[in-house]
Every structure is written in C-alpha cells, then in structure tokens.
Amino acid sequence: MSLKDKLKADQLEAAEKFEDWLNNSTETVCGLFAAAGFGKSWCARYLIEEVIINNSNYTPIITSMTHSAVAVLADFVGRGVTTCHSAMGWIPFVDKDTGEEGISTPAMRDKNCEPRLPKDSILIVDEAGLLGHTEMRLLVEEAEKTGAKILLIGDHKQCFPVFKEGEKECIPSHDYAKHHGTILELTIPKRVDKDDEIYKLSTLARLAVDGADHPKPVTALNPDGKTGVRHIEDIEDIANAAFKAGVRDGNTRNIKVLTFTNKRSLTLNRKIRKNVLGHKDTCPVVGEEMVANTTIQSSTGDTCLIRNNELVIVKSVEKTESHGLEGAFVQFTRTDSFGKQEDVEEIVFVPASPGKLMDRLRKLSNDAKAFKANGFDQDASQAWRAFFALKEGCADIRFTYAMTINKAQGVTLKHALVDLWDIDGCRSREQKARMAYTAYTRPTTYLTIEGELDAKPNIQFGVL
C-alpha cells in the first residue's frame, strides 16, 4: 500500500491545499493544526516525501520544539531531525547588568554568517505550539529575507508557551498562520478508538478550551476493565503503586505524575524516590531520568549543553558542594536524533535541592528589581551579576517521576497521573483548561486523576 493510500480524505485535501500554498502562494507560513490522533504525523510524512521532495524545488529542514519528539520523528519520517533552536542556532542571551533575557541568533553574533534558512528551503516545526512570540518573529524575519517557507505542526489547544509581560495570550504559531498564512485542517480521528474513555474525556477537555464547561472526571474504564480513566482520592498512594509496578516491569519512564506547579512536582519526586525507589539521598543515581528546568550553557557561555525541557540520563555522580549548596557533579547522556545515547559535552553541578536554588535565585532577583526601582542602579547591577553567577554555576535539572504539564508537552506516556487540584490553583480559566487537555492527551493506556477544576459540578463524564 502506498503512502497516499493510507491517508484519509481530510489528509488528502490538506495535502492538495499545502501543495498549492507551497508552489503558488507568496505567504511564508502554513500551519497544520489538529488534536492528537487526527493524523498530523502521517499527513506531515506525506507532505515531506510526496509534495516537498518529489513535487517541488524546496528542501525540507525538519525540526521539533521538544527533544523528546526528535528521535521519534526521525524514526517515523526516516530523515534527520533536530530541535528548532539547534537548527536556527539560537542560544539564550542575558544582559547581566539589567537581568534582561532573550534569544541570540547567529546574525546577532556574526553579521557575515550564512542564513539558517536558505532560499528554496522549507522549515518544518513539530510541536509548534511551543513557539513564543519572539521565536515566531525571528523565524518569519529570516524566512522572508531568504524566500524560505515555514510549515508549523501542532495542537493549538494545548498549553500556552511562556510569555513576557504584556504579550498577547495565544498560541503565536497558530495566530500567525491564521492571520498571515494558510491553515490546514484535519477533522477525522485516525489512530484513536472513538469509544476509548481517555479519548472521550480529552475530546470534552478540548472543547473546554473554547469555553465549554470543564468535564467532571469520574472513573470510566474501557471494556477490558483495566485501561481508561480512573478518578481517585489520593494520587500519592496510586502513584506509589504505579511506580512499584514500573520497577517490577523494568520501566518507570513511561509513568509520570503531571502537575501545574514546580513545588508540587518537587514534593512528589522526593516522596516517590524515597517511598518507592528507596533513595533517601536527594542526589541523583546512575540511570535516573532528569529534565532541564532551564537552558544549561557551556562553561564558555557560547553554546548550549542542555536545552530547556530536554530529557537526560544520569551516567555518573560525584557528590560535592558548590555555591554554598550540597549537590553533585553529574555526567549526563542525551538521546541524539537517531535514538542513540551520547554524552553531554561537560560535567555539570546539580544542586541536591532545586527548591533551595530557586529560593536564592528569587531573592537575588527581587533584590535587583527593588534596587532598580529605588534608583540604586549599581547595586541592582551587582545583584543581577550575583544572580547569573549562581544560575550559570548550578544546573537546574530535576527528576521526572513528577513534572509540570508544560514540560510534558510532546511526551507520550503509558500512564499519566494528573493532579487537578494543583491545576485548579491556576488563576486563568483558559490556561487551566489547556493544561487539563494537554495532560489528558499524554497517556495511551491509563489516565488517573485526582480532583476537579472549579470544584463544582458541571459536565458528568463516564460512569461510577
């Protein structure tokens, strides 16, 4: 069966519209947005192989916004894939006198550098919903200079990316494609069973993003009596049981507790490591999976060792103390674009307590802002320099037994345990709905939920 024969009518219609946009439109951006299970990956593969490579003069540059999706996407399309930030040569920029943070592009560092998006190239960005306003602007600016094109792929109902104060709350990639480009729509579910209870709940949660009532989750199992949705009273007890089963089966990495706040995930990580894995020491052990809470730069500051949200594995540990914090020098490995493990280029210091690191950074940041507000510019500059010295000297890398929903975007799990009480603490009604929807679409087999949103009856989902 050919690749074309595997596509449904909506995918073929999207392909025709894409080919017309690619070869005839002057627009720079095209967006392929749909819910999980609606065939974005198969459609994208067809667009790459049959439309771009076989029927156009464009060369594809395939990227993803998440490291976890890079190897999976490379294996699926059979071509090299990298992160969007790596493809574009972006690294974090920091003004250590003012605390201002941004993105440094190759052109900012070298005015004579070659463009990252050559003429007749098309940049493909998976998980494009994670692009912020600045990243979207930088992509469009470079593409318009060279005549390149951009195809954005994602689900615009998932979590908002990180915004700066005053920026519009939206999914910038979808917003730009809607108002300045072409939108491709997929409307027919593909890989999911319409009667699957996780799928049914996630469908209702997606509608809540647009203003419908939050679905009230209750236990709803599939006909096998095992898989599906469970609504429980104590997520910690169920998490302990789930991770014990994961230890027994030799795989705990496809089980995660998903939260809104870092504080909740840090607490759960500590309890799971102690109660299930027997790790009373807060330092990591060889073989544990961890995730970067921020971009970790090299000792020279000109390259990224580990990018924000990148998953890494502990290879070696040497306990020590640095910057007045207990911790360890850790050698990590990462998964490359071909699914193989490779060493991170440098050993980094990881504090045993991310919470203590956060507290110290928060105090230095608050001090710097207070000095600036009161006209003490020199003191503010010194406080910012102390802030960045601490931030650059300590790698904020955390365990992943529990993690925030924002960091779980792009991750596929066997079992997701969702703390809705924690999510309900978010003040934004829309962001709460987006987080719940994102969390519900992570697992393939088991979805366990504690709590509810808005803590009042609304849509009744499932059966008790």
- pLDDT at residue number 337: 66
Question: Of 51, 49, 14, which is closest to residue 31 (Cα–Cα)?
Answer: 14
Label residue 192 by pLDDT band (50, 70, 90).
low
Residue 22 CA to chain centroid, in angstroms? 28
Picking from 195-199, 296-300, 337-341, 421-425, which range would have the lowest pLDDT averaged per residue?
337-341
Considering the domain architecture, whether residues 64 and 204 belong to the same structural domain is answered as no
Q: What is the pTM of this model?
A: 0.90
Average pLDDT estimate for 228-234? 96
Measured between alpha carbons, how far is 448 from 25 in angstroms, rounded to an integer?
Answer: 46
pLDDT, greater one: 166 or 183: 183
Considering the domain architecture, whether residues 160 and 12 belong to the same structural domain is answered as yes
Is the confidence at residue 77, as pLDDT, over 90? no
Residues constituting the chain = 464
Average pLDDT estimate for 121-145? 96
Residue range(s) defining the domain that contains residue 438? 197-354+395-460
Please name the residue ranges forming H helices in 320-376.
354-373
Considering the domain architecture, whether residues 112 and 220 belong to the same structural domain is answered as no
Residue type, 280: K
- Specify if 70 maps to a domain: yes
The model's pLDDT over 54-75, given as tens digits with 9 standing for 90+, comes to: 999 999 999 999 887 887 788 7
Considering the domain architecture, whether residues 172 and 41 belong to the same structural domain is answered as yes
Strand partners, 154: 33
The model's pLDDT over 16-30, given as tens digits with 9 standing for 90+, comes to: 999 999 999 999 999
Is the confidence at residue 336, as pLDDT, over 80? no
Compute, in degrees rounded to 10, the torsion defined by CA atoms 95, 101, 102, 104: 40
Average pLDDT estimate for 185-196? 82
- pLDDT at residue number 194: 77
- pLDDT at residue number 459: 43
Give the 3-state secondary structure percentages of the chain, helix then strand then coil, rounded to 5.
40, 25, 35
- pLDDT at residue number 97: 80
Average pLDDT estimate for 429-455? 94
Q: Which of 141, 165, 185 is the last residue of a domain?
A: 185
Label residue 354 by pLDDT band (50, 70, 90).
very high
Considering the domain architecture, whether residues 169 and 218 belong to the same structural domain is answered as no
Pairing of strands 59-64, 82-83: parallel
Considering the domain architecture, whether residues 36 and 177 belong to the same structural domain is answered as yes
- Three-class DSSP category at 409: coil
Is the confidence at residue 278, as pLDDT, over 90? yes
- Specify if 374 maps to a domain: no
What are 119's two structure tokens?
A: 């003429």
Average pLDDT estimate for 341-347? 93
Residue type, 66: T
Measured between alpha carbons, how far is 170 from 187 in angstroms, rounded to an integer?
Answer: 22
Question: Of 212, 149, 180, 204, which is closest to residue 35 (Cα–Cα)?
Answer: 204
Considering the domain architecture, whether residues 10 and 157 belong to the same structural domain is answered as yes
Measured between alpha carbons, how far is 317 from 189 in angstroms, rounded to an integer?
Answer: 46
Considering the domain architecture, whether residues 179 and 129 belong to the same structural domain is answered as yes
Q: Which of 154, 185, 216 is the last residue of a domain?
A: 185
What are 43's two structure tokens?
A: 């459609």
Considering the domain architecture, whether residues 39 and 161 belong to the same structural domain is answered as yes
Considering the domain architecture, whether residues 155 and 34 belong to the same structural domain is answered as yes
CATH no. for residue 326?
A: 3.40.50.300
Considering the domain architecture, whether residues 77 and 210 belong to the same structural domain is answered as no
- Specify if 370 maps to a domain: no
Considering the domain architecture, whether residues 134 and 204 belong to the same structural domain is answered as no
